[in-house]
């Protein structure tokens, strides 16, 4: 259930393990929240447990391998996570092969972070979402995965009508309603604006910017500027005032973007949860598994959690 980056990754790993896989989804990957993401490897808006960090590390390794291929849309890019608080959580650094601590004097000269700011500099995967999701979709089809576009409201009807040996719920924000045993899931509204890329290759994240969450992620043909983190909001409409505030913060942080035209804009609802849910779900007449609640870290955890689901189900 689900054809976003998580669902497609799971389908890939289960097929490689020898299973025959069918995907049911209300929309394809390019219409899902995955398509709105900046797709920078970073465990954003997700509780960082040992399990999450392990999945992040597995995904980093897989995406690094895919970055060697020109058709995947994945590239390894260097960048900086700015830190404005002494208690900033840096546990994610254990999942990257190399990183460097920077004090204020070592921050890149073209950043304008303000005073009292330090940072972590590292190289991580960045995916151009349209290219990557098309590649991943084509890859699972080539493996023999079948896909059907359909709205699903009742998992028991799916079990009766589709007669699967096992079912995996990876439907993002809708997963909790489908399973009906979860009151821990909620949306986090993210809004981004995409600018033409003047030649930037380095990304920057400024989670604690006084004006609000700020990130600038250059990709092949655009630069994703964000963002927002509106917890509990189901609003999927672009807000022009919010967009102007995002641009003010992004351009102050990276002045090289001044004057670049807007290419597109998007809003997505990150499927957040008190903790990522990757487990068997009781109460059904055959195996049902959950894989959702990734917040803003769907790309970051995708291959790791797909591997975990494949391990729970076992080989064919």
User: Would the pLDDT of 222 be above 80?
Assistant: yes
Range of the domain at 9: 5-313
- Which residues lie across from 224 on neighbouring strands? 194, 217
**Selection from 44, 42, 1 nearest residue 270 by Cα:** 44
pLDDT at 120: 96
- State pLDDT tens for residues 134-163: 999 999 999 999 999 998 889 999 999 999
Question: Would the pTM of this model clear 0.75, i.e. be above it?
Answer: yes
- State pLDDT tens for residues 238-287: 999 999 999 999 999 999 999 999 999 999 999 999 999 999 999 999 99
**How many domains is the chain built from?**
1
Question: Percent of the chain scored above 70 by pLDDT?
Answer: 98
pLDDT at 32: 78
- State pLDDT tens for residues 75-87: 999 999 999 988 9
Token pair for 250: 């992004």
Question: What's the whole-number mean pLDDT along residues 17-23?
Answer: 97
Tell me which of 135 and 112 has the higher pLDDT: 135
pLDDT at 116: 74
- State pLDDT tens for residues 186-202: 999 999 999 999 999 99
Give me the CATH number covering residue 67.
3.30.9.10
Residue 193: partners with Cβ closer than 8 Å, 6 or more residues away: 224, 225, 226, 243, 246, 247, 262, 264, 265
């Amino acid at each position: 259930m689900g054809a976003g980056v998580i669902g497609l990754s799971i389908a890939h790993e289960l097929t490689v393990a020898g299973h025959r896989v069918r995907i049911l989804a209300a929309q394809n990957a390019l219409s899902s929240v995955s398509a709105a993401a900046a797709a920078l490897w970073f465990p954003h808006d997700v509780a960082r447990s040992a399990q999450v960090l392990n999945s992040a590390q597995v995904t980093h390794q897989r995406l690094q391998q895919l970055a060697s291929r020109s058709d995947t849309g994945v590239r390894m890019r260097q960048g900086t996570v700015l830190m404005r608080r002494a208690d900033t959580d840096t546990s994610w650094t254990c999942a990257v092969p190399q990183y460097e601590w920077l004090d204020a004097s070592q921050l890149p000269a073209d950043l304008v972070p303000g005073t009292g700011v330090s940072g972590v500099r590292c190289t991580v995967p960045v995916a151009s979402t349209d290219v990557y999701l098309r590649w991943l979709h084509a890859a699972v089809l080539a493996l023999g995965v079948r896909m059907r576009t359909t709205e699903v409201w009742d998992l028991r009807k799916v079990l009766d009508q589709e007669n699967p040996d096992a079912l995996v719920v990876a439907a993002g924000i809708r997963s909790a309603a489908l399973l009906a045993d979860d009151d821990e899931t909620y949306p986090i509204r993210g809004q981004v604006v995409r600018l033409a890329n003047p030649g930037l290759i380095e990304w920057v994240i400024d989670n604690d910017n006084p004006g609000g969450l700020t990130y600038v992620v250059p990709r092949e043909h655009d630069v994703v500027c964000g963002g927002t983190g509106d917890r509990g909001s189901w609003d999927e409409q672009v807000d022009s005032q919010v967009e102007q505030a995002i641009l003010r913060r992004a351009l102050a942080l990276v002045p090289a973007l001044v004057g670049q035209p807007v290419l597109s804009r998007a809003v997505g609802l990150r499927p957040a949860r008190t903790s990522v849910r990757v487990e068997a779900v009781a109460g059904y007449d055959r195996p049902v598994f959950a894989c959702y609640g990734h917040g803003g870290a769907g790309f970051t955890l995708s291959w790791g959690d797909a591997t975990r689901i494949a391990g729970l189900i076992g080989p064919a």
